[in-house]
Amino acid sequence: MELALCLGDNTNKQFSFLEKPSKINNNSSASLTSTSDKDLECCMGLDGAFSGHRSLSSSSSPSVEDEKKKKKKPAPRAMDSDEFRVSSSVDPSLQLQLHFPWLPENSRQGGRMLSEAATVAEDEDEEEDEAVPSMSVSPPNSVTSSFRLDFGIKSYGYERRSNKRDIDDEVERSASRASNEDNDDENGSTRKKLRLSKDQSAFLEDSFKEHSTLNPKQKIALAKQLNLRPRQVEVWFQNRRARTKLKQTEVDCEYLKRCCESLTEENRRLQKEVKELRTLKTSSPFYMQLPATTLTMCPSCERVATSASHPSTSVAHNIGLSTSSFHSPLIPVKPQPAKQVS
């Protein structure tokens, strides 16, 4: 069961790209509206209509998701030779158009670098695997050469593997071997943590604003642009989505807390009022026969209220009082005109 939150106050949404569905299945959603705080509104969907995270991500990048749905391409076999040919048919209009602030102007070419990089990746489909090591910034005397020998993924003829991730892992290990210049990782068991540069982070951030998920093309293009491995880009996006969700959850939580406090306060007030009304009812039974026109002041807040504008009216109704029976005759009430309700 998923708990979906639809906050009435959208103005302080931190992540505009995380648009949540505005509608929740009416069958099983409850809407709580605080009468004391009109702009405070929570909607809680308790079914799968809004299926949580996936909806979050999909709504954040509809084009990508839609594209996925539209394409319905055959599931790529692990390193199937057709993989990149298939994905190369991606609509160019869907490619990222981003700026590369830290790169020289002549290499930006009007913010279309990533698109073009994707095109490059497309053109170099056959080199995709090799692109990973080739983007390594290892010095010439590094182990890149042996890495290339290791890097026989292409040459093992797209042999079917049980899992693409096996291949990715192998790529990563190989690339890691290639980029490890300090030779402190002979056995490959310790993970090497590489801090991304500010520029790299900034660019990934920009990309994330465009699309919170990446298709393989975009991933490869990004990796090429940033001299990172595709796996690194993928991990970064995964972590970034997780951070976004965490932040949004915190915001939602805070909001719900306020919502809860407000409702609790109102509940307390209404209960008090019910108690007073009950007392009133038992202590002064004869006031029930008074004409309605004389009963315009609420005993609890001492404000004149119309039957529709004050919550007490509904409470009075619920406990069996007519809406015109707020007052005992002991309470002096001036006849109309009634005071203006604020």
Partner DNA sequence: TCAATCTTAGAGGTTACATCA
Partner DNA sequence: CGTGATGTAACCTCTAAGATT
Whole-angstrom distance, CA of residue 232 vs CA of residue 226: 10
110 or 152: whose CB is closer to DNA? 152
Residue 23: both structure tokens together: 């509608």
> Could you say whether residue 18 binds DNA (CB under 7 A)?
no
Alpha-carbon distance of 234 to 220, in angstroms, equals 9
Angle ∠(120,125,127) on CA atoms, nearest 5:
95
Taking CB under 7 A as the rule, does residue 74 contact DNA?
yes
Q: Using the rule CB under 7 A, is 172 a contact of DNA?
A: yes
User: Pattern 84-123, binding to DNA, x per CB under 7 A?
Assistant: ----------------------------------------
Minimum distance from residue 178 beta carbon to DNA (Å): 13
Interface residue with DNA among 3, 9, 66, 69 (CB under 7 A) is 69
Q: Which stretch binds DNA (CB under 7 A): 150-158, 238-246, 278-286, 334-342?
A: 238-246
Shorter beta-carbon distance to DNA: residue 175 or 315: 175
Q: How far is the CB of 166 from DNA (least distance, A)?
A: 8
Report the nearest approach of DNA to the CB of residue 283 (Å): 55
Residue from 213, 300, 323, 328 that binds DNA (CB under 7 A)?
A: 213
Within 8 A by CB and 6+ apart from 327, the residues are: 280, 287, 294, 295, 297, 299, 333
**Residue 169 contacts DNA per CB under 7 A:** yes
State the Cα–Cα distance between residues 133 and 129, nearest whole angstrom: 8
Of these, 3, 242, 301, 341, which contacts DNA (CB under 7 A)? 242
Rounded CA-CA distance 115/260 in Å is 47
Q: Is 317 in the site for DNA (CB under 7 A)?
A: no
251/243 Cα distance (integer angstroms): 12
**Amino acid identity, position 29:** S
Considering beta carbons, is residue 44 or 78 the nearer one to DNA? 78
Q: Specify the residue for token string 């406990």.
A: 319
Dist. CA 43–CA 57, nearest whole Å: 20
Size of the site for DNA (CB under 7 A): 48
220 versus 263: smaller Cβ distance to DNA: 220
Coil, helix or strand for 46?
coil
Q: Is 57 a binder of DNA (CB under 7 A)?
A: yes
DSSP 159-186: ---S-HHHHHHHHHHHHHHHH--S---S
Could you tell me whether strands 4-7 and 41-45 are parallel, antiparallel, or unpaired per DSSP bridges?
Answer: antiparallel
77 in contact with DNA (CB under 7 A) = yes
Site of interaction with DNA (CB under 7 A): 51-54, 56-57, 69, 72-80, 160-165, 169, 172, 176, 190-196, 201, 213-214, 216, 231-232, 234-236, 238-243, 245
